[in-house]
Amino acid sequence: MENRQCRRTPSYDWRVDPVFFALLPFAFFAVALLYSSVGHAGATGYLALMALGGLAPEVMRPTALVLNVAVASIAIVRFAGANQFPWRTLPYFLIGSIPAAYLAGSIKIPEEVYRPLLAMVLIAAGLRLAARARSDTFELGAIPPRGFVLALIGGVIGLLAGATGTGGGVFLTPLVIARRWTSTRAAAGLSAGFILANSIAGLAARPASLDLLPATLPLGLATAAVGGLIGSELGARRVSLVTLRRILAAVMVIAATRLVVG
């Protein structure tokens, strides 16, 4: 047991940079606020911040997923209360995504594969934040495709979500809106439910990873929850957060660069 602890400590000790990690929960607040305004939980933002701090993947993934569960739950309540939660469409996506996220989450991905994979996800998320498509303002939904097509789409996104420790919303939302399958606010509610289910599946796939959660996580959960509450309210009021999106997008690109170059 003693040797095991000695091997792990350098990989996930949050005390390596006390100032950075003391500020991290408050950075989680900002990420949760921004993401929840569009129905997301913030996993890519949390992962980017932790990558900047040099945390090991085995710590980053469960931490991001636990934060996802908290913020996505708040977003679901908010959008369901506003009658913007597509109860009929979501199950089809989940039929494919939940087993896929569980399968991918149960596989131990080598760090040399995980880092460039996560870097690509962060860059995609950063581009999404920096350049909001005009179609995001489209409010009239079109008829979604058949259930098996939605399940297949969910499965593909679920694999990526489980492998990287994200909920997959950053890929689902632009697709749903671009295809005009639902309104912007309903797409946000859809993504919140999708993210929650995939995050739980990812955690269930590797329950032992919960032992690596940092001691400071309760504070991070509290700040992220507050950010989620405020962000979902701002999103409902259509408050513009363009500047914050661009700042976070820059952080993601920097974090992606750090992941690749080391």
Q: Report CA Rg, the chain.
A: 17
- Tell me: the pLDDT tens digits for 27-51? 999 999 888 877 788 898 899 888 8
Report the distance separating Cα 86 and Cα 80, nearest Å: 9
DSSP string, 104-126: HHHS---HHHHHHHHHHHHHHHH
Record the tokens describing residue 262, joined without a space.
């080391």
State percent of the chain over pLDDT 70.
Answer: 81
The answer to whether the CB of 224 falls within 8 A of the CB of 123 is no
Domain limits, the chain: 17-261
- Tell me: the pLDDT tens digits for 85-136? 888 889 999 999 999 999 999 988 888 888 888 888 888 877 776 665 444 4
The answer to whether the CB of 52 falls within 8 A of the CB of 258 is yes
Record the tokens describing residue 39, joined without a space.
């129905």
Predicted TM-score of the model (pTM): 0.82
Can you say whether the dihedral through the CA atoms of 199, 202, 204, 207 is positive or negative? Answer: negative
- Tell me: the pLDDT tens digits for 121-135? 888 877 776 665 444
